[in-house]
Structure 1
Amino acid sequence: MLTSGILSPVLSRSIFELFVSVIGALATSLGALLYLLRVRLDRPAIGKFNGRDVLILFVFLAILPAVYLVLPRWAVTSLLSLTFMASLSIGFRPLFNPTPLWVGIGVLLGGNIWLGQNALGTVPGWQAFWAETSVVVVLGAVSVANLYVQGGMQLRHVAWFAVGLAVYDAVFTVAIPVSNLLVREFVGYPLFPAVGMRIGFDEAIVGLGDLLVYGLFTAAALKAYGWPAVRLALVLVVVFGAAMPALSSLLIDYIDARADIVIPAQTWFGPAAYIGYRWLRHRYGPERTMREFLASRTVVPDLVAVPA
């Protein structure tokens, strides 16, 4: 999801959106890769990851916006706090002892809530809020992407998940503007789940769901087929996940009644991700399992000594 005001010329607005989306997509994708190479998460005892798990994840993400819209503001902030607390604690527990881990999480989340409640009266305040929010969101996306990929999610699961989100994005952005309503209601809430930045009156954001898909796709590509797949995945993320959605506003009128622009980024990325997966499958054959990935030369050994 990308959004901005319409107070600047179309071209400069699109360049701003492009800059923010490329930075967010690459930060999440490269972060997910670095984490997968160096850190092992305990694998949850949930059996083999399958299509049913993908469907459950999709349904959860699909109904979450409706939950946000019916809850009072304090409840939304509480839910987001718990969500980020869980993702950050799971993802970074292998890297830090409990005391610095929870102090760090408390500082990140508490600082974001303070900024959201006290610093949004000026452009520098908004920029500080978005910078801090972006750090929280990228770290959370990297953690969750690795939780799923190290837990057994395969590239084919991510590809189908992206296709489902492509349809969802098109329906609930273009046909039924739920995404537009979410942006209208929740931008500026503490812990708003997006990477973003503001310049003047213009604002560009990339939603957590989009970033999670990019991190999943890149990490799963590395696990499945190694570095040739990573190169393809990064090209697809940058071109179809960031550049094409941002620049499409030069040709497509996404402007809603409030003069916001909400772009269905997954509608561009989902088909490209699926085609990329099919090409990799055709060229390299079956995907590697997590066990085969760990036994390969791809992994950096023994940099983080945690239980496998």
Structure 2
Amino acid sequence: MSAALIGLNVCVAAITLLGLGYFARVRMPRPPVGKYEPPDVLVVMAVVMLAPLLYLELPRTAVAVVFGLVLCAALQFTLAPLLGGLGAALLAVLAVAVTGGLALADRTLAVLVLTDVLLAVAVVGVATMWAQSGFKSVHTAWFAGLLAVYDLLATGLSSVMDRFAAQVMGLPFAPLLAVTRGDPPVALGLGDLLLIVLFPLVAAKAYGRAAALLAGALGVLASSAISVLFATGTLTGAFPLMVVLGPVIVAQHL
């Protein structure tokens, strides 16, 4: 398990650096959103809170289809500035189709790796779009703080996220950066990964390169610290990472 935990945090660090590089070099088309306000953060939070409850009521095949469509769209707009709209669409559809085909062929390892790669690209694109379209440090701090409370309730004090993880584990396009699917799996949730990648980008925009590097380092450090607790046997079940990461982000903003 220790090797898997190290691999997970190496992946998190690599995706964080990829996000910073993409953010610095690529200008994404801005969606017509004007500017973000606190109510917008509450709307995003409502979606985050309700989505797992909805997915728990759907058949696993339907969940995989929904995730696949969302991931395909995210891949397209992430790759469009690099490949053009048509090229990005073709590559996104091909990548999703290949991953789905491998899942039908029961190639579990290949599906795990491809899902992680596609998820990493999509997270970098979504984080960059938010940061470049007006999502500020204060919005990220509010988002992280609210997610910390939600994660404590949904993961630490109830079984919602445990049941959700069991529902999506092993599916193609699952919203988990997974290294293993054991019991417990070595994986990081999509929301956790998005916040780790997002905050360095808004910090770079608001405060400069040094703040961005500090934010990235502290995000990876928070994930690594929890991994150490798992490696030493102090933690054995699902842990709400946002309970640690949320206050770290809020403190940096303040």
Alignment correspondent of 2:14: 27
TM superposition shift of 1:201? 7.2
Change in Cα spacing, 1:200 to 1:99, as seen in structure 2 (3 Å) is: same
| Superposed counterparts of 1:139-288, under 5 Å | 139-198=121-180, 203-240=185-222, 242-249=223-230, 250=232, 252-254=234-236, 261-278=237-254
Partner of 1:79: helix, strand, or coil?
helix
TM-score (norm 2): 0.92
2: CA distance between counterparts of 1:206 and 1:24?
10
Partner of 2:30: helix, strand, or coil?
coil
1:104 aligns with 2:91: yes
Alignment correspondent of 2:81: 94
Alignment correspondent of 2:55: 68
1: CA distance between counterparts of 2:115 and 2:235?
28
2: CA distance between counterparts of 1:87 and 1:17?
27
1:129 aligns with 2:111: yes
**Cα-Cα RMSD:** 1.9
2: CA distance between counterparts of 1:263 and 1:127?
25
Partner of 1:131: helix, strand, or coil?
helix
| Superposed counterparts of 1:42-61, under 5 Å | 42-61=29-48
1: CA distance between counterparts of 2:94 and 2:65?
16
1: CA distance between counterparts of 2:4 and 2:251?
25
- 1:48-96 Cα offsets, whole Å, 9 max, x none, are 1111111111111111101111112232122112211221112221111
Structure 2: gaps of 5 or more residues: none
Alignment correspondent of 1:294: none
2: CA distance between counterparts of 1:253 and 1:127?
26
1: CA distance between counterparts of 2:162 and 2:7?
19
2: CA distance between counterparts of 1:200 and 1:177?
18
Report how many aligned residue pairs link the two structures: 253
TM-score (norm 1): 0.77
CA contact (8 A) 2:176 2:187 kept: yes
- Higher relative contact order structure (alpha carbons within 8 Å, sequence separation ≥ 6): 1
CA contact (8 A) 2:45 2:143 kept: yes
1: CA distance between counterparts of 2:121 and 2:138?
24
